[in-house]
Structure 1
Amino acid sequence: MAVLLEEIAQSVEIWLKLIKKPQSYVDPNLDPVLLVPGIAGSILNAVDDNGRGERVWVRIIGADYKFRTKLWSRFDPSTGQTVSLDPKTHIVVPEERYGLHAIDVLDPEMIIGRDCVYYFHDMIVEMMKWGFQEGKTLFGFGYDFRQSNRFQEALERFAAKLEAVYTASGGKKINIISHSMGGLLVKCFMSLHSDIFEKYVQNWIAIAAPFQGAPGYISSTFLNGMSFVEGWEQNFFISKWSMHQLLIECPSIYELMACPDFQWEHNPLLEIWREKHDKDGNSNIVLESYSPEESVSIFKEALSSNTVTYDGLDIPLPFNLEILQWACETRKILSCAKVPSQVKFYNIYGTNLETPHSVW
């Protein structure tokens, strides 16, 4: 039954592609725009040795099972790469529609409530109304969010994308619009390949980029897991536990830890309730606070006995100190990055009731 439903969903996806309306208005004078998403903002396909692939992020039918069997990974400290536990497949970001397909609607098969899996969809639709054209002035760059923001393969793909956009647009310099963790990837590239960045980029607009880390997000992820959708859609999505077991092996997550050298206006704290006993055995509940540096001990304690079972084997997944060391090196690269003089940089951020401290 599940296989039949999946085949029907895939047929609907193909049908939706066939009825896509042609663009009515194109402005050939616009400068090219490259959209770069944040964490989990790219479709990911698992491809076997015969070239057969299936979407494993994001999907509704069989979501949690496919996520655990195809995306669960281990970090390799010798290469800095997060490697899938499944040896029969590798993860690929689809390149259709000049990279836009992977960052538009993350589950194209979803019909009802599909706005919960929109990423850049609304922006793409609006920009095309303004006259932007896919493959001429509008492009996307999706990436494997499990990997480090300085993962060499991703940076090489980004360099090739910049050159391809520059060529397709007739030699016009590029406007990059990044969101969230995509800003860290762009910043790493700018730091390590400043000559290429300056050659092809005119403007960089970073939206809600966690340049100094995302302490609240990280604490929640390490201790409680993470859900990317709310409400009834969670019943069709992956569990917070499954996502948790993936993210604690992803260097990109550790690279979102709070920057220790930043002069925070309000120091981000991890606060937890602890049960304490006095010498008479009486129990008291106290609230303890930990700085970003001190929080590492809490993460180590909380994850010390964490394990997963994969293909019949019990695999230990504690808080990974090797990834932490890798992330510290990434932080050094990020802290030294400078925008080339000929590139204009715009940093868009906001605060609201859910923001735990000032952001800059």
Structure 2
Amino acid sequence: MPSQILKIVGLVAVTILLTPVLIDNRDPDLGGIKEDFLQKFKDLEFKDNIKEFIQKNRFYCINGKNPAQLNAQEQLEEFKKGPCAPLTIMPGILGTSLQVQIDCEVLQQENPEIFANCGWSTCSSYNIFGKRPETEYRLWVGSIFSKTKLLQLKDSKCFGDLMSLNYDEKTNKLQDNKGVFVTWYGNTPKTKSKSECGANAIRDFTDDPIMKQTTESLNGFHNLIDALEQLGYQSGLSFQALPYDFRQSVAENETKRLIKSAINSLFSLTGKKSVLIAHSLGSLHTLDALTSFEQSFKDQKVKQFIAIGPPFIGAPKSFINIIGGDPSYIQNILGLQVGINFYSQTKFAYSSSSTYDLLPKNTFYEFKDEPWLKELISRIEYEKDPSKFSEAPFKSIFPERENECFDTNKLFFRSDNTCQSGLINLFEQEILNIKNQTFKSNNEDLISILNNFTLDDASKYIKLYNKSLKAEGLNKLKNPGVPTAIIFGGILETTISLNYNENPKDKLSVNKDFYFPESQSFTIGDGTVPTYSAITPAFKWAFEFDNQSPNSKPVKLIEYCSKHASNESFYDNTSKNGEKIYTKNSYHGIPCECQNTKSVEKCNHSCFINDKFVIGTIFEAIQTNEIAKKTKKYTLNEVLSIQSECPVLKD
């Protein structure tokens, strides 16, 4: 720890030395002025954990050809002849780097409070005694010295104001405050040249090397994208990043159009079906999109859907953001409260409709009479006492209880090494307790929580919650209609229930500061998403496939850090033309980098997407050996134009 602190202090000192003196009255975004230093820093921290993978598989997807000796069109043609599938990557909540554009005059006139909260007093370049805003700032995640910095003191308001959305009662929609426009990094005049067709919006969440030293959670998909580029992929041509405004709900977002556009583009460019990779909230967007597409479209153009850490049926921890604040976003340093303060947390949580997508869902009550849920409850009872069952329920998708899934009896929050699913009977499990009043995972209780324990106008939040339920593909867990793999974690303590001794609304209205739960109950998960939330839909879809429901496809459960069936191929067979295919439901374990360390962070919800074994799993999935369909052959100029303009991401 001391060496880490010294490293950060040293980086701060170097950054300050490299910061130029500004002679005008603009309030600069200091995150963008140290690119030479940043490049040196990146060179020093080359991703050691994937070096071996890169060296072993370099240029694999372009038949061993060196891209340095090919132009972009030639590289694309090699990819079409190669063994790999194109892919899309959709990040989760807080997983897209955001850029904010400021219209100074409009903001000053329409939202003077926000203008003042950010320390601005003028729009004139001649007023040398006042501060005027830059036209753009990195919003998520800003530099440690930026106006939009993540590490705020208790009374800072600028970040919360710029990050928040304004509720329009007439349209029942959330929109940016007047004078503020938020979009993904790479979609603005100042960042377009750095976009790489959306890849840099999800590769890293910040350019600031100091911020990167504080937590691995800010690293985004950088390991995966680096690996793909070394395999021979090109952004916008053979893989497509899908950055989006994670503040907006699944029902309100443009992601359906975005996903379909990307699939169509990749098929046109490569002649192959796409593998759709999504993390966390991105999995919810992808599921809802897939269920809206025609089956013929999916059969022709989608190879499979890989959901990583998906909170398909919600996460009880999400309540903490709208009830009293999340302590994991703040620290006390030398008596000062530093981090995302109460003002910013509440502004973001209450004004982001995606918050409601992450709340616990009505799943058990929605499907209470369905045979798949009855069998799932039998599986839960079986894991408590296998002796009462002659056969394990759902054994095609999850191993029998007596099998060993782990090498040790104690792996972080795991209490033994046997194969336990982490499924929970949500008819019985409380998810919230406030002054001894208990609430469960159903719509009636959720509306009661929003109505009685939120700070502001409850009717607004209930309207937004009800609107989030219009994403039917997600909320009804419709079958995606494509082969699906779910990569999930089940070794970390993960919130299942929150307990508050007092009414948070009463407490917050007086103190205007955090009120954290007095206690929490935990289950297994990835530290954020309980295992049951990630895998419950898999049992529904597996049941549908086993019972030959129309358009149902096989499901794979892939458990992080598990050793069971870890040497078996995820693909079950090959077609007549040599293409790898799924033919059955099954469970597979994969190793994890954190297993032999004491570092919980490396295997948590935000970080395990960069684990070399997860990347190895994705690498196996993209080796489909599909023979490319005959499609248009693009000229070099057309290919370069697609890379530069990235039409998939245009509105």
Q: Which TM bucket (shorter chain)?
A: 0.7 to 0.9
Contact kept in structure 2, 1:38 and 1:178, CA below 8 Å: yes
Report the residue type matching 1:91 in the other structure: V
Partner of 2:180: 89
Report the residue type matching 1:213 in the other structure: G
State how 1:1-360 maps to structure 2 within 5 Å. 6=28, 8-13=30-35, 16=38, 25-26=58-59, 27-28=61-62, 29=82, 30-48=84-102, 52-60=135-143, 61-62=146-147, 63=149, 65-76=157-168, 79=171, 81-85=173-177, 87-95=178-186, 96-111=195-210, 113=213, 115-151=216-252, 153-168=254-269, 170-194=270-294, 196-214=297-315, 216-226=316-326, 229=329, 237-262=339-364, 265-267=424-426, 268-272=429-433, 274=435, 287-292=436-441, 293-303=444-454, 305-306=455-456, 320-331=461-472, 334-335=475-476, 337-340=478-481, 343-355=482-494, 356=496, 357=523, 358-359=531-532, 360=535
How much has 1:20 moved relative to structure 2?
7.9
Cα pair distance change 1:19/1:40, threshold 3 Å: closer
CA deviation map 1:297-316 (0-9, x unaligned): 2332222x43xxxxxxxxx5
Distance 1:75 1:193 in 2: 30
Cα pair distance change 1:153/1:349, threshold 3 Å: same
Once the two structures are overlaid, the 10-residue window that deviates more, 115-124 or 137-146, is 115-124
Cα pair distance change 1:14/1:68, threshold 3 Å: farther
SS of equivalent residue, structure 2 residue 358? coil
Contact kept in structure 2, 1:300 and 1:319, CA below 8 Å: no
Once the two structures are overlaid, the 10-residue window that deviates more, 249-258 or 59-68, is 59-68
- Backbone CA RMSD of aligned residues: 3.5
How much has 1:48 moved relative to structure 2?
4.2
How much has 1:8 moved relative to structure 2?
4.7
Once the two structures are overlaid, the 10-residue window that deviates more, 41-50 or 185-194, is 41-50
SS of equivalent residue, structure 1 residue 113? helix
Partner of 1:312: none
Cα pair distance change 1:257/1:235, threshold 3 Å: same
Larger Rg belongs to:
2
Percent identity for Structure 1 against Structure 2: 20
Contact kept in structure 2, 1:82 and 1:146, CA below 8 Å: no
Distance 1:71 1:199 in 2: 39
Give the TM-score taking structure 1 as reference length: 0.78
Report the residue type matching 1:12 in the other structure: K
How much has 1:175 moved relative to structure 2?
0.9
Report the residue type matching 1:90 in the other structure: F
How much has 1:140 moved relative to structure 2?
1.1
How much has 1:38 moved relative to structure 2?
0.7
Distance 1:331 1:249 in 2: 22
Report the residue type matching 2:90 in the other structure: V
Cα pair distance change 1:123/1:42, threshold 3 Å: same
Contact kept in structure 2, 1:213 and 1:255, CA below 8 Å: yes
Partner of 1:282: none
Report the residue type matching 1:97 in the other structure: E
Report the residue type matching 1:266 in the other structure: N
SS of equivalent residue, structure 2 residue 162? helix
Distance 1:235 1:34 in 2: 39
Q: Which has the higher contact order (CA 8 A, sep 6+)?
A: 1
Partner of 2:395: none
How much has 1:104 moved relative to structure 2?
1.3
Distance 2:181 2:36 in 1: 24
Contact kept in structure 2, 1:206 and 1:348, CA below 8 Å: yes
Once the two structures are overlaid, the 10-residue window that deviates more, 58-67 or 177-186, is 58-67
Contact kept in structure 2, 1:75 and 1:250, CA below 8 Å: no
Distance 1:134 1:218 in 2: 33
Distance 2:489 2:239 in 1: 26
How much has 1:9 moved relative to structure 2?
3.2
Cα pair distance change 1:19/1:208, threshold 3 Å: closer
Contact kept in structure 1, 2:450 and 2:458, CA below 8 Å: no
Contact kept in structure 2, 1:190 and 1:337, CA below 8 Å: no
Report the residue type matching 1:42 in the other structure: T
SS of equivalent residue, structure 2 residue 262? helix
Once the two structures are overlaid, the 10-residue window that deviates more, 253-262 or 184-193, is 253-262
Report the residue type matching 1:324 in the other structure: Y
Cα pair distance change 1:58/1:288, threshold 3 Å: same
- The size of the alignment, in residue pairs, is 332
Once the two structures are overlaid, the 10-residue window that deviates more, 187-196 or 175-184, is 187-196
Which runs of 5 or more structure 1 residues have no equivalent in the other structure? 275-286, 307-315
Cα pair distance change 1:271/1:324, threshold 3 Å: closer
How much has 1:173 moved relative to structure 2?
1.7
Cα pair distance change 1:68/1:20, threshold 3 Å: closer
CA deviation map 1:89-135 (0-9, x unaligned): 22211341121111111011234516341111222233444444434
SS of equivalent residue, structure 2 residue 470? helix
